[in-house]
A and B are shown apart, each in its own frame.
Chain A
Amino acid sequence: MTVPNHRWRNFKNAVVQVATFACAVLVVTPLVLVFYHLISQGFTSINWAFFTQLPKPVGEIGGGMANAIVGTFILLGQAALFGVPIGVLGGVYLSEYGSSRLNWWIRFAADVLNGVPSITWGMVVYALIVVPMHSFSALAGGIVLGMMMIPLVMRTTEEVLQLVPGGYREAALALGIAKWRTIVQIVVRTALKGIVTGVLLALARVAGETAPLLFTAFGNLGWAHKLTEPIAAMPLQVFISAISPYDDWHRQAWAGALVLLVLVLAVNISVRFLTRDRFARPS
């Protein structure tokens, strides 16, 4: 039997090494480019006025995105209030209770929900809340973001709780501790860091969502004084400014995008850094 030519096989091997490395570089390039342009276009517009002023009327230079920044935090606060209890408690059920059949269906439905386009969520909450209320509102925006968080937080909570060794539960039950106390005071407490991580990542994810807010929070060029009024949010304001025909608004869009991206990436990076030791797996 003749052995295939070593040189040809090694050559193919080398070509593939180079080609796949090139693909990896290609994948990383857009992020680098985006960051580069965000900084070069947006950095100079980031000043005290940006963080404290409202958008100025068209034609006047200056102004800022203070309302959008505050608006994003208000929306995220509501989303957390709405989404975290439901998501975490639901994740507890998936992990600690339930028949495997029901749980399979819940997990499956949650995973499918995670793939539902965000604009669809917006339409649903529009029909559910905006129409009966006869107005766009911060409340609707908070609710839609909260709804989007629920399947996300539920799955990550479940995964984290599964990582708690069974021995902890068994030891606690053997000592006569009620099951609910076992879960709350021991299992969840042990997994708390991971649960918080999951929540933060989900918040960072919905912080950047624009489409669902288009028909719920709607946006506001001023301050929202009540939760029942439309409210500005950073991704919304970036979008509106970007597609407008005014150069000054484009400038603001770059600055807003830079701030938003820094916030989102900061949360992602710090979360990954803090959980590195516990969840690192050899590649």
Chain B
Amino acid sequence: MLKESVNAAVTSKTTPDTRSAEWHFGDRAFRWLTLAMALVIFVLVFLIGWELEEGSRLALHQFGPRFLISSDWDPVNEKFGALPFIFGTLVSSAIALIIAVPISIATAVYLTELAPLWLRQPLIMFIELLAAVPSVILGLWGIFVMVPWLRDHLFPWLQKCFGFLPLFKGPIYGVSMLAGGIIVAIMIIPIITSVSREILRSVPGLQREAAYALGATRWEVTRIAVLSYAKKGLFGAVILGLGRALGETMAVTMVIGNSAQIVASLFAPGYTLASVIANEFNEATGNLYPSALFELGLVLLGVTVLVNVVAQLLLKTFAGPSVKPQH
């Protein structure tokens, strides 16, 4: 195939003059074309920032920085405050990280160091398939299967054992902040696992061999030679997962209860930035209401971009081209 391509390309123009003209025009045109396409990325970045800023201008002007610390969400009286949603986003993401990080890193360790070779590829494929499951499908399973199970089994048990903590007091509805956190955990586990796996694989074999040579057990090799070396990259993987958790919309909306309140109980319904936008955007009347929602979007974007930038920097400075950031 290569030979035919080369033949076709070489014999397409015969005289040196036309060939050099073609070189100059064709090469320049193609280069500019591809450059223009690549620069579309910056256009997109600009568009996102510009449209969100323009959309939220009214609310920014009206509320100023009070928006971020106010708990009022009263569309009828046109009073808007972002605090319950910021709280909801942060808490659900925190819960998700607490659940997902140990499990993901343990699984990544298992896949790269401890699993029998025949088991690795099937497991890896399974986990990558889980990453491909659309959010709304997981949300559907969440509402009709997970939430009833949580309401009837896990939550009452948690309340029985840990009910003295304010976290586990209060009525149990099923839809709750904790349910939101759990479903986000399920969504970010594949990402953290994949990236961690790449990080662990990129640890030089020499580190492991040295540890084995000194008589370490497999776990000791992993702990001493691999995990300490990979700390920075693993941290980057975790931050990447956090970035994903912050922006998660559909599955969360379906199981978190959609109630704008700030309470200590994990069993109480909550509301996240992404969920309130998803639910109320199409019903938002007037000018201030949509603008307030745009401002929520701006806050969400700002936080997510910041977290993602930190993650990308950590990952890029850890192991360069050998680590592929998963999306």
* A contacts, CB < 8 Å to B: 9-10, 12-13, 16-17, 19-21, 23-24, 26-28, 30-31, 33-34, 37-38, 41, 85-87, 89-94, 96-98, 106, 108-121, 123-124, 126-128, 147, 150-152, 154, 159, 168, 171-172, 175-186, 189-190, 204-205, 207-211, 214-215, 218, 235, 238-239, 242-243, 250, 253-254, 257, 260-261, 264-265, 268-269, 272, 283
Contacts and interface: CB of A to CB of B under 8 A. Distances in A.
> Which of A13, A98, A269: most chain B CB closer than 10 A?
A13
A44 to B, nearest CB: 15
A119 B297 contact: yes
Interface in B227-255: 240, 243-244, 246-250, 254
Contacts of B48: 113, 116, 120-121, 124
B94 interface: no
B37 A89 contact: yes
Given A109-B45, A239-B250, A257-B140, A120 B301 contact: yes
A180 B103 contact: no
B219 A89 contact: no
Contacts of B15: none
A260 B103 CA distance: 28
10 contacts: A13-B219, A20-B114, A27-B107, A33-B141, A90-B40, A93-B31, A111-B308, A123-B52, A184-B30, A268-B132
Contact of B41 (A16, A109, A123, A177): A109
B6 A97 contact: no
B282 A115 contact: no
A264 B222 CA distance: 35
B244 A113 contact: no
A183 B121 CA distance: 34
B38 interface: yes
Contacts of A124: 47-48, 51-52
Contacts of B240: 115
Nearest to B306: A112
Interface string B52-93: 101100000000000000000000000000000000000000
Contacts of B126: 28, 31
A209 B103 contact: no
Q: Give chain B's interface secondary structure class.
A: helix
Contacts of B124: 283
Given A31-B129, A154-B41, A268-B129, A120 B139 contact: no
A250 B282 CA distance: 22
Contacts of A94: 38
A17 B104 CA distance: 15
> Which of A115, A184, A185, A235: most chain B CB closer than 10 A?
A115
Given A23-B103, A120-B297, A235 B136 contact: yes
Interface stretch (B19-27, B157-165, B166-174, B259-267): B19-27
Contacts of A205: 132, 327
Contacts of B38: 89-91, 93-94, 98, 106, 154
Interface of B: 1-2, 5-6, 8-10, 12, 19, 22-23, 26-27, 29-31, 33-35, 37-42, 44-45, 47-48, 51-52, 54-55, 102-104, 106-107, 109-112, 114-115, 117, 120-121, 123-130, 132-141, 143-145, 186, 189-190, 193, 201, 217-220, 222, 240, 243-244, 246-250, 254, 274, 277-278, 281-282, 293-294, 297, 300-301, 304-305, 307-309, 311-312, 316, 324-325, 327
> Which of B55, B110, B193, B281: most chain A CB closer than 10 A?
B110
A96 B35 CA distance: 10
Contacts of A185: 5, 8-9
Nearest to B40: A86
A265 B132 contact: yes
